[in-house]
Amino acid sequence: MPASSGAPGQHERTSVPGANNRIITSFWAGTWADLDAAQPDWPAASAFLVDDHLSALKAVWAHVAGGRETLIAGSGRVGKEQAADFRADGLAVVRGGQIEPATSERAPQDGRVWLLTSGSTGRPKQVAHTLDSLTTVAGSQPARTWLCPYAVGAYAWWQVVTLSLGLADQSVLFIEPSQLDDWPALALEHGVTAASGTPTFWRQALWRSGEVMAKLPLEQVTLGGEPVDQAILDRLREVYPKARISWIYASSEAGAAIAVHDGKAGFPQDWLDRDTPGRPKLSVVDGELVIASSKAAEGMDAAIRTGDHVELADGRVLITGRLASDEINVGGSKASASKVRGVLLEHPAVAWAAVKGRKAPLVGMVVAAEVVLDPDAEPVSDADLQSWCAGRLPDYSVPRRIRVRDEIPLKETLKSDV
């Protein structure tokens, strides 16, 4: 993509393959090229802290011209201390019409795109990419209108943005956080044919808006951002029998590393330790997924330890959850939260489940679960679900407490870690 190299102003944005792709936000619709009409005089190295997709897309389009260094994030993700750090690092902070200049001067790093990590283990950290390293889809693609429900600046958000910039006939409907409850109707209104979201995102949409979802003419269904289970893959196949259903493993640090299209949870075991030019190398070390990829952020180790626990079963590599949070110590026995969750999701009456440890006398911790039930299924009690688990799990892994929630929770990250 032309913005990743070259001097300021060298590249004509109208030569960008996707310049005429339509982009739709909550209060604006037009093409990428139409954004030329509003380009403020932003400093060449800027951190844009934005409250909506349109503001973010203007910053992207300015970056495409070249000669810029850009960070884009939702304003709510960045506190005063981190914003001050950006300025000290040479980035001006742009919030709406306000520009806070950098407090140290340096030349912009031409083409640099900074992403913030998820921040799940503390304050979000910066990782370095370019538009090229964020672009993972190339070649001829069918004309599509994509749905982008991701938060601005997230790795998955950049994946949709770079797809639309890099290929013709790839329009995008961007969904604000306040529109997440209504996205199926908006997608139907705007002719969305391809959509990407987390398994929780899809699970909630099917649970809440099943009739509208069934009307969507989806040709491409993509899942990522969380471990995927067979139940949600099967449910999506049932609703969209003709769509290509893909599961993508990606992160800000490792890039997009795994893409599976066979409708099965996990990925083939024979992909491990395979040296294939142009593709990431995948390994398992002490039960942890390790990735070496040319699409990783700059400055990463050659082999990145992902922190994700994996298991091998029936020729597949299953990603079950985070190493740091999966293990529940029940009186000295180790219960796996992901295994318990998987067993609950296999029950025909359970539409969603989350599992955590809860402090308890004598044993220290017990397994506790939250579930959302399928309203079309046969009613079940806590005892029914505990009996279901007891038949499939050791006694110490059976949830001692089960809470039934009214709705599937969905955070701005499109995940539901409660």
Confidence of residue 277 (pLDDT cuts 50, 70, 90): confident
Task: Give the number of residues written for the chain.
Answer: 418
Choose among 19, 8, 79, 17: nearest CA to 47: 79
23 has pLDDT over 60 = yes
- 276: three-class secondary structure by DSSP: coil
Confidence of residue 39 (pLDDT cuts 50, 70, 90): low
Dihedrals phi, psi of 210, to nearest 5 degrees? -55, -40
Confidence of residue 278 (pLDDT cuts 50, 70, 90): confident
Proportion of the chain above pLDDT 90, given as a percent = 74
37 has pLDDT over 80 = no
pLDDT of residue 119: 61
Residue 16 and residue 124 in contact, taking contact as beta carbons nearer than 8 Å:
no
Residue ranges with strand state E in 293-392: 304-313, 316-322, 327-330, 333-336, 350-360, 364-373
Q: Which tokens go with 289?
A: 């997924």
pLDDT of residue 166: 95
pLDDT of residue 12: 66
Choose among 344, 390, 336, 334: nearest CA to 370: 344
417 has pLDDT over 80 = no
pLDDT of residue 96: 85
pLDDT (average), residues 207-215: 94
pLDDT of residue 286: 92
Average confidence score pLDDT of the chain:
91
Least confident of 109-123, 228-242, 285-299: 109-123
pLDDT of residue 121: 55
103 vs 250, residue with greater confidence: 103
Choose among 258, 232, 236, 234: nearest CA to 247: 258
pTM: 0.88
407 has pLDDT over 80 = yes
Q: What is the pLDDT of residues 329-358, one digit of tens each?
A: 999 999 999 999 999 999 999 999 999 999
First to last CA, the chain: 39
107 has pLDDT over 50 = yes
Confidence of residue 3 (pLDDT cuts 50, 70, 90): very low
Q: Which residues contact 12 (CB under 8 A, 6 or more apart)?
A: none
pLDDT of residue 5: 38
Residue 259 and residue 245 in contact, taking contact as beta carbons nearer than 8 Å:
no
pLDDT of residue 38: 56
pLDDT of residue 8: 40
pLDDT of residue 36: 75
pLDDT of residue 214: 96
pLDDT (average), residues 210-223: 96
pLDDT (average), residues 274-296: 91
Choose among 331, 306, 303, 332: nearest CA to 320: 306
Distance between CA atoms of 379 and 376, rounded to whole angstroms? 9
Proportion of the chain above pLDDT 70, given as a percent = 94
Q: What is the pLDDT of residues 131-190, one digit of tens each?
A: 999 998 878 889 999 999 999 999 999 999 999 999 999 999 999 999 998 999 999 999
94 has pLDDT over 80 = yes
Q: Provide DSSP, 98-132.
A: EEE--SS-----TT-EEEE---TTSSPPEEEE-HH
pLDDT of residue 279: 87
pLDDT (average), residues 59-85: 93
